[in-house]
Amino acid sequence: MEKLFKPIYEEQANHTNTLGIILIEKTKPDSPITDNFDVIMLVVVKASDADWHEKHYEFYGKTAAMLTLTERSLNKWIDTNGNRKAVEWILAGKVVFDRDEYISNLKDQLRRFPHEKRDLRKTMEFGKLLKSYSEVKDLYASEQYKDAFSRMVHTLHYLARLAVVEEGYHPEATLWSQVKETDPEIYKLYDELIESDEPIAKRIQLMILAADFAISRRAKVSAKHLLDIMDERTEAWSCEELKDHPKIASYAVDLTAILHYLTEKGILVTEKSETKVAGVYRRRYRINQE
């Protein structure tokens, strides 16, 4: 397969704009990692008119896709899980061109998973977890048990991803295999939800209690990225100020849920400032120093 694709990737390698090229080949009949193409060629470039673009090929009964994306887009995909396959492509793909060891350095960074990137991912997963958990409780309270069950599966999935990131790993497609090794307690929760003989309503009730404890005990660590930003100044922050902060853009849509939860748990405290309307106050947040 590599020989058939060689003329195409050699042409790309001749461009000074190209930083690296990786081939990812299909190894089994159903291959989500390659979107069922026989091979994907990932071309990373310094800059381009579009953040990414894709071309499809067919030759000798085989199919291929060439995905070209900018360095900036690739980093965004990795940092924010914009395309969860990106990490697998880089770590498992075959490097056929590597300018100035760009791909080698990127592989090393992914394996190390630096703390600043890890903290960002934790807070992102934490925000999704809180919103999903809130939906479970609402559905359970309204006796929509099947929907609550489905949402609880998603909730445990976010909790599992968070646990994997805490251990310094990127969540993979085989997430529960990872969790079984890194956090057996969360794996056990998932197993009990799926395999238990209890009625569905009872299972959800028990999982709500267990998830509440699991979320609460890791709240401060999970929100570290946000808390570090808030600690940059002594004055309290408004929700608008935090949402406009460039470092928070990746989880701005979940910020309200995070602020509410951290306030509820006493990790944050609120301050009120007057508005032009009598009796209406603007709410601001700061870290509880007590």
Residue 130 burial (C-beta neighbours within 10 Å; 0-12, 13-18, 19+): buried
Distance (Å, rounded) from C-alpha 162 to C-alpha 215? 10
Residue 275: pLDDT above 80? no
What is the pTM for the complete model shown?
A: 0.86
What's the number of domains the chain is made of?
A: 3
Instruction: Give the domain extent around 187.
Output: 115-222
Do 76 and 100 have their domain in common? Answer: yes
Do 124 and 90 have their domain in common? Answer: no
Distance (Å, rounded) from C-alpha 29 to C-alpha 26? 8
- Residue range 223-248: mean pLDDT, rounded: 95
Do 105 and 122 have their domain in common? Answer: no
Q: What share of the chain has pLDDT > 90, as a percent?
A: 64
Distance (Å, rounded) from C-alpha 85 to C-alpha 242? 30
Domain final residue pick, 205, 222, 239: 222
Q: Predicted confidence band at 280 (pLDDT cuts at 50, 70, 90)?
A: confident
Q: Check residue 198 and give its pLDDT.
A: 92
Residue 134: pLDDT above 80? yes
Query: What distances in angstroms separate CA 230 from CA 151, 244, 285, one per listed residue?
Result: 31, 13, 9
76: DSSP letter: H
Residue 219: pLDDT above 90? yes
pLDDT in tens, 207-216: 999 999 999 9
pLDDT in tens, 114-133: 899 999 999 999 999 999 99
Do 71 and 134 have their domain in common? Answer: no
Tokens describing residue 146 = 């099947």
Distance (Å, rounded) from C-alpha 149 to C-alpha 139? 9
Do 277 and 229 have their domain in common? Answer: yes
Do 121 and 178 have their domain in common? Answer: yes
Q: Check residue 27 and give its pLDDT.
A: 84
Residue 290: pLDDT above 80? no
**What is the CATH classification number for the domain harbouring 266?**
1.10.10.10
Do 138 and 40 have their domain in common? Answer: no
**What is the CATH classification number for the domain harbouring 159?**
1.20.120.330
pLDDT in tens, 17-63: 999 999 999 888 888 888 889 899 999 999 888 888 999 988 888 89
Domain final residue pick, 54, 87, 112: 112
Domain final residue pick, 182, 199, 222: 222
Do 266 and 232 have their domain in common? Answer: yes
Do 137 and 59 have their domain in common? Answer: no
Do 14 and 85 have their domain in common? Answer: yes
Give the residue from 167, 163, 170 showing the smallest Cα distance to 189: 163
Do 71 and 38 have their domain in common? Answer: yes
- Residue range 175-192: mean pLDDT, rounded: 91
**231 phi/psi in degrees, rounded to 5:** -80, 0
Q: What share of the chain has pLDDT > 70, as a percent?
A: 99
Do 240 and 191 have their domain in common? Answer: no
Q: Predicted confidence band at 206 (pLDDT cuts at 50, 70, 90)?
A: very high
Contact 56, 38 (CB under 8 A): no
**What is the CATH classification number for the domain harbouring 81?**
3.30.460.10
Strand 18-25 and strand 94-98: the pairing is: antiparallel
- Residue range 248-264: mean pLDDT, rounded: 95
pLDDT in tens, 80-117: 877 778 888 998 899 999 999 999 999 999 888 889 99
Buried b or exposed e, range 186-203, using 16+ CB within 10 angstroms = bbebbeebeeeeeeeeeb
Q: Check residue 260 and give its pLDDT.
A: 96
